[in-house]
Structure 1
Amino acid sequence: MFQYTQRPSLLFFIGCLICAVYINLNVAPQWVETQHQYQTYENTQGVLVYKSAGEEKPIGQIIHYEDSQLNQVALNKNAKKPALSEQWVMQQSTNKVVLLKADFHFGLWSLLPAFVAVALCLMTREPLVSLLGGIVIGAIMLGRFDITHQIFIPSLATSSAASILILYLWLLGGLMGMWAKTGAAQAFADYMTLHYVKGPRSAKVITWMLGIIFFQGGTMSTVLVGTTVKPIADKAGVSHEELSYIVDSTASPIASIIAFNAWPAYIQAFLFIPGVAFLATEQDRISFFFASIPFSFYAMLAVLGTLLLSLNVTTFSGRPLKNAIVRVNNTGQLDGPNASPISAKELQQNHVPAGYQGHMLEFVVPLLSLIIIAVISYFTHGSPQIHWAFSGALATSILMAMAKGMSLKQVLDGFGNGLKGVVVASVILMFALTIGILSKQLGGGIYLVDTLGSQIPFWCLPIILQLMTMVIAFSTGTSWGTYAIAFPLALPLAWAIAQTQGLANPELFMMICFATVLNGSVYGDQCSPISDTTILSAMTTGCDLMDHVKSQIIPATYAATLAALLWTACVCFFTAGKAY
């Protein structure tokens, strides 16, 4: 029998389930034309091609835009699923070739699966069950009632799911298990405490500095910093809410400021606008990215906020973080009274064999090998090869342990304990990936962008774009996925408004709008309980997931609010001098 506290969440889910069935039976999808603009060129064989995800792909038959069955006029007449999913067309007004696609959404209902997952997370504090609930709702809305074969198997068959299994289950879990088996993490914590860490403040400052140093962003920075600092911070008495906040809020924010990583190369592909000279080539678009960095106000304020907390300045930290600090000071408890950390006990205890003496170099050397491989692969391949880096670190850790006399059986025991410790978190990550795919298929992001089709005053566009991307990233759990949705629609809209409303500095206006999309997506990704970086921040620091979300969202919202005011002020002061 369900406890009383569980009944509201059960009733809520049943109500949403009824809504999902109703949508599937009675709500017709709204088909929307979406244009994807790529830089097209003839390759050495004389074939017209374009680049997508770093791969050169041929362009098929090109027809006139007006003749396509995927343009909005044709979609409105047909009101049914078109026979084609995509088509290359020539726009007569610009003489540009674009890839036309037909996507659909269910209006506001498209956000229901993500809303259910987030709401259940807040109500039950059980991310696994909550994500599964959102997946079930989305599957029913799409009419895919065989959830195992129509949802989970296709999702698990993707390269993203395989990457999660290999990286976060085998490699990360194995590495953390080896550090627990050899006692390397504890030895490193003891060494740092003896020589550098004198208390909670110095432990948090070291965490912040590592977040700056590992500026690659995303999951790699989160995992690197989280696994490195946890033993130090635990020994120094830093609450897990503080630690996870510092780790999470110096990952993507710093990557968007110190952008010598994969971000510019990925994002520039979505910035092409026909007829806009300063976005004409790939190099132009990358230069535009770097020129826009001074307007990344949210990222700067987020990093500043973590520094202030590290220095024990809690004015803008919010009540949950302040309560966590008081709790640790009074009771020594690193977690709240009802916390359920998703990092299992296998990774929180040492299982060092009798007679084996762990050394801090067994922690430092694998970590250095990881960083070196990541940096070298970034310069040789254009992006850090995360799997190579973690494979090298795990192999180094195993070889060092065996060279010191640890038996193969003991190594396998440590490796196995590591897998046990992260299996729940890995499943949560795969569920988060699945619900993100479902949200995209249901057209949640497209619906939100589609609502901006009316005329918008130039001065309020940055805030609208910020709010839009915050909601998309929060509901889908991904900033990079939000970029793919928002940039191809938001920047052309910004350019059109700059031209029609006669702004004096259209390029500066575009930079500000670009920064709002970039930063709004980072905020939504950071604060979403279904985001991989949010989950990994909680997992690697040993924090309860919802405690991390609730404590981080307040200082992040302070930063986002101040950033919105700064963007609006910049637009009003620097671009409003139009030729009246």
Structure 2
Amino acid sequence: MPNQMPEKVQKKHNSIALITFIFAILSAVYIKQFIPPHWVEQSYVYDVSTDALGVSSYIYKEKRVIIDAVVSYENSPLNQQNLNNISKPPTLKQQWVTDDNQQLKLLKPAFHFGIGSLLPALITIILCLLTREPLTALLGGVVVGAIMLGRYDLTDKVIIPNLAQEGTAALLLLYLWLLGGLLGIWSKTGAAQAFANFMTKHFVKGRKSAKVVSWLLGMLFFQGGTMSTVLVGTTVRPLADKAKVSHEEMSYIVDSTASPIASILAFNAWPAYVQALIFIPGVSFLATEADRISFFFQSIPFSFYSMFAVMGTLLLSLNVTIFSGKRIRAAKFRAETYGQLDAPDAKPLSAKELQSTDIPQGYKPHVLEFILPLVTLTAIAVGSFVILGTPKINWAFGAALLLSAIMALIKGMSLDHVVEGFGNGLKGVVFASVILMLAVIIGSISKETGGGLFLVSLLGEHLPFWCLPVILQLITMIIAFSTGTSWGTYAIAFPLAMPLAWAICQSQGVANPELFMMLCFATVLNGSVFGDQCSPISDTTILSAMTTGCDLMDHVKSQLVPAALAASFAGVLWTLTAYLFV
């Protein structure tokens, strides 16, 4: 039977972690006091419309915003030439300008501290690897980043402002109340176990079929991101546990069929979001929103990483582990030989309240108590996306929670027991929700300190054109891994990478510029997916571990090898395609 990590080794790791954290604190103080921020111009182009009265406006978050004051680019204090000459933060936060082609742009200033910008994310990841304790590691990264930004009041200046943001509050509502409550009621009614029994009887005959069903569900829920992760993870957990599939295998399958499949089967919110970031003046095939969405879909055949990631999970589901890495093979052997779904020293994110059923005496679970809420959840999420253009995930989980409670009451369960199940569910996910909250904060701090901007600024226009796709891949992998977000990386990288790619097309006389732009687009799209998928501070990584009951760092370490192999194969293909066919 596998042995636990020796206590002396863990103490040594903790000591190294403490020394590393102290060094990071001192480095953060030094950066704050002695490293001046380097200010960078960021320009954004929106689909601007002008009415009969000459008033220009654009749509932002489904609201029309009026553009009331415009200056020439040369006269703006936020252009790069003026930003290079300032020693204090600019007084303007943003300004609309017109360039030489009379194109309207929104300029915003941003800054970075050079390589020091990576410190908050870097210390978080190092502490995670050393201590295997994500909560303290994330908190350590938040402290280091707050010191760099001069926000010494951690509660009032860092945590509360981030919690007050709409996106963070929505995450906590969804994953603490709605997801936790739903899992708790399913545990109380025995619905999840009834579903596992039903699937085992009719479809799942062993470990292989359990993994194949999980993979197919990942294909079915192609909305991507947190929604797919939670939906697939909560659905497959009971049947996979019953079939004795290791939690490392399941968390890898769930994570690698979330964002990767969403970037291939892109009938979701991704194209609408990304298209707004890739406009380049004068480029005909990126001129209109319809052109840019069409460009997204035409680029899908070059999403090599996502394809390899999905294929890798399929091979694992079929018990072909040649590309899975040593850790997943060891986890598979452990589960098959000893029946252990977790390593002996694992600290699963899923709490004890959600790992067993507590069905009241006389209550008989039924599989429909799991299937009907799940169908309702999926129908509302997909239906709202089709009708409204965005999936209403909170509506979907709220309706599923309400339906589960009503069905339990109709079948005779007392209100006290339903409320008890709901409370157990909240207790079961509260720890993971705190980790999720800190992950959002560290991602926000990493973006604010300018880690992504610094990495992109390392690129120049004097590269051989065929090198650019793989370099963009590497840069976006690092940004997304450091910030824990693919969509946040898109907001940083696309407005810089696409104009850079077009400039190289023009300066080096690329024969097929549209193909080259598709390759560069795909590398940014896929590199960001890899970094997000593998980062220990990513919400999808945390939720994959939480919903499948896996230790977070076991999940991170076990999926890193197959994901890195997929990224390596993809990088080779992107480079060869650029060299041979562009």
Specify if TM > 0.5.
yes
How far 1:375 sits from its partner (Å)? 1.4
Of 14, 19, 24, the residue aligned with 2:27 is 19
Tell me the SS of whatever aligns to 2:293.
Answer: helix
Task: Return the letter of the residue paired with 1:475.
Answer: S
* Identical pairs, percent: 63
How far 1:5 sits from its partner (Å)? 3.9
How does 1:470-549 map onto structure 2 within 5 Å?
A: 470-549=477-556
How far 1:454 sits from its partner (Å)? 4.2
What do the CA deviations read for 1:505-564 (whole angstroms, capped 9, x no partner)? 100100010000000000000000000000000000000000000010100000000000
Following the alignment from structure 1 to structure 2, what is the Cα–Cα distance between the partners of residues 264 and 506?
Answer: 21
Following the alignment from structure 1 to structure 2, what is the Cα–Cα distance between the partners of residues 568 and 166?
Answer: 43
Following the alignment from structure 2 to structure 1, what is the Cα–Cα distance between the partners of residues 163 and 528?
Answer: 25
Matched, 1:180 2:187: yes
Following the alignment from structure 2 to structure 1, what is the Cα–Cα distance between the partners of residues 336 and 354?
Answer: 24
How far 1:267 sits from its partner (Å)? 0.5
How far 1:37 sits from its partner (Å)? 1.4
How does 1:184-333 map onto structure 2 within 5 Å?
A: 184-333=191-340
What do the CA deviations read for 1:72-125 (whole angstroms, capped 9, x no partner)? 111112232111111111111x22111111111000000100001111000001
Following the alignment from structure 1 to structure 2, what is the Cα–Cα distance between the partners of residues 11 and 24?
Answer: 20
The gaps in structure 2 that reach 5 residues or longer are 1-9
In structure 2, the residue matched to 1:40 is 48
Does the 8 A contact of 2:486 with 2:529 survive in 1? yes
What do the CA deviations read for 1:172-210 (whole angstroms, capped 9, x no partner)? 000000000000001110111111111100000000000
Following the alignment from structure 1 to structure 2, what is the Cα–Cα distance between the partners of residues 298 and 347?
Answer: 34
In structure 2, the residue matched to 1:578 is none
Q: Which moved more, 1:81-90 or 1:482-491?
A: 81-90
Q: How many residues align?
A: 574
In structure 2, the residue matched to 1:352 is 359
In structure 2, the residue matched to 1:74 is 82
In structure 2, the residue matched to 1:102 is 109
How far 1:261 sits from its partner (Å)? 0.3
Following the alignment from structure 1 to structure 2, what is the Cα–Cα distance between the partners of residues 54 and 470?
Answer: 30
Tell me the SS of whatever aligns to 1:77.
Answer: coil
In structure 2, the residue matched to 1:457 is 464
Does the 8 A contact of 1:31 with 1:79 survive in 2? no
Following the alignment from structure 2 to structure 1, what is the Cα–Cα distance between the partners of residues 162 and 217?
Answer: 34
Of 378, 382, 385, the residue aligned with 2:389 is 382
Task: Return the letter of the residue paired with 1:405.
Answer: G
Does the 8 A contact of 2:481 with 2:531 survive in 1? yes
Task: Return the letter of the residue paired with 1:289.
Answer: F
Following the alignment from structure 1 to structure 2, what is the Cα–Cα distance between the partners of residues 460 and 198?
Answer: 48
Task: Return the letter of the residue paired with 1:513.
Answer: C
How far 1:46 sits from its partner (Å)? 4.6
Following the alignment from structure 1 to structure 2, what is the Cα–Cα distance between the partners of residues 201 and 266?
Answer: 37
Tell me the SS of whatever aligns to 2:84.
Answer: helix
Q: Structure 1 pair 5/490, CA: closer, same or farther in 2 (3 Å)?
A: closer
In structure 2, the residue matched to 1:443 is 450
Of 81, 99, 107, the residue aligned with 1:91 is 99
Does the 8 A contact of 2:138 with 2:435 survive in 1? yes
How far 1:25 sits from its partner (Å)? 1.0
In structure 1, the residue matched to 2:406 is 399
In structure 2, the residue matched to 1:339 is 346
Of 558, 566, 569, the residue aligned with 1:562 is 569
Task: Return the letter of the residue paired with 1:522.
Answer: V
Tell me the SS of whatever aligns to 1:58.
Answer: strand
Does the 8 A contact of 1:461 with 1:513 survive in 2? yes
Tell me the SS of whatever aligns to 2:257.
Answer: coil
Following the alignment from structure 2 to structure 1, what is the Cα–Cα distance between the partners of residues 502 and 62?
Answer: 27
Does the 8 A contact of 2:461 with 2:500 survive in 1? no
Following the alignment from structure 1 to structure 2, what is the Cα–Cα distance between the partners of residues 78 and 472?
Answer: 27
Does the 8 A contact of 1:30 with 1:107 survive in 2? yes
How far 1:45 sits from its partner (Å)? 6.4
Does the 8 A contact of 1:173 with 1:421 survive in 2? yes
How far 1:352 sits from its partner (Å)? 0.5
Matched, 1:372 2:379: yes
In structure 2, the residue matched to 1:113 is 120
The gaps in structure 1 that reach 5 residues or longer are 576-580
Of 415, 424, 443, the residue aligned with 1:417 is 424
Following the alignment from structure 2 to structure 1, what is the Cα–Cα distance between the partners of residues 462 and 365?
Answer: 65
Tell me the SS of whatever aligns to 2:106.
Answer: strand
Tell me the SS of whatever aligns to 1:472.
Answer: helix
How does 1:418-433 map onto structure 2 within 5 Å?
A: 418-433=425-440
Following the alignment from structure 1 to structure 2, what is the Cα–Cα distance between the partners of residues 184 and 560?
Answer: 39
Of 63, 66, 69, the residue aligned with 1:58 is 66
Task: Return the letter of the residue paired with 1:268.
Answer: Q
How far 1:44 sits from its partner (Å)? 6.9
Task: Return the letter of the residue paired with 1:79.
Answer: S
Does the 8 A contact of 2:325 with 2:561 survive in 1? yes
In structure 1, the residue matched to 2:143 is 136
Does the 8 A contact of 1:39 with 1:272 survive in 2? no
Following the alignment from structure 1 to structure 2, what is the Cα–Cα distance between the partners of residues 336 and 43?
Answer: 64
Does the 8 A contact of 1:272 with 1:279 survive in 2? yes
Task: Return the letter of the residue paired with 1:442.
Answer: T
Q: Return the TM-score normalized by structure 1.
A: 0.98
Task: Return the letter of the residue paired with 1:496.
Answer: A
In structure 2, the residue matched to 1:363 is 370
Task: Return the letter of the residue paired with 1:439.
Answer: S
In structure 1, the residue matched to 2:5 is none
Does the 8 A contact of 1:298 with 1:563 survive in 2? yes
How far 1:60 sits from its partner (Å)? 2.6
Q: Which moved more, 1:31-40 or 1:448-457?
A: 448-457
Does the 8 A contact of 1:472 with 1:524 survive in 2? yes
What do the CA deviations read for 1:8-43 (whole angstroms, capped 9, x no partner)? 111110111111111111111111111111121124
Task: Return the letter of the residue paired with 1:90.
Answer: T
Following the alignment from structure 1 to structure 2, what is the Cα–Cα distance between the partners of residues 207 and 352?
Answer: 26
Tell me the SS of whatever aligns to 2:537.
Answer: coil
Of 3, 6, 26, the residue aligned with 2:14 is 6
Does the 8 A contact of 2:218 with 2:232 survive in 1? yes
Does the 8 A contact of 2:221 with 2:232 survive in 1? yes
Q: Structure 1 pair 371/44, CA: closer, same or farther in 2 (3 Å)?
A: farther
Task: Return the letter of the residue paired with 2:308.
Answer: L
Q: Which moved more, 1:287-296 or 1:56-65?
A: 56-65
Q: Which moved more, 1:57-66 or 1:37-46?
A: 37-46
How far 1:3 sits from its partner (Å)? 4.2
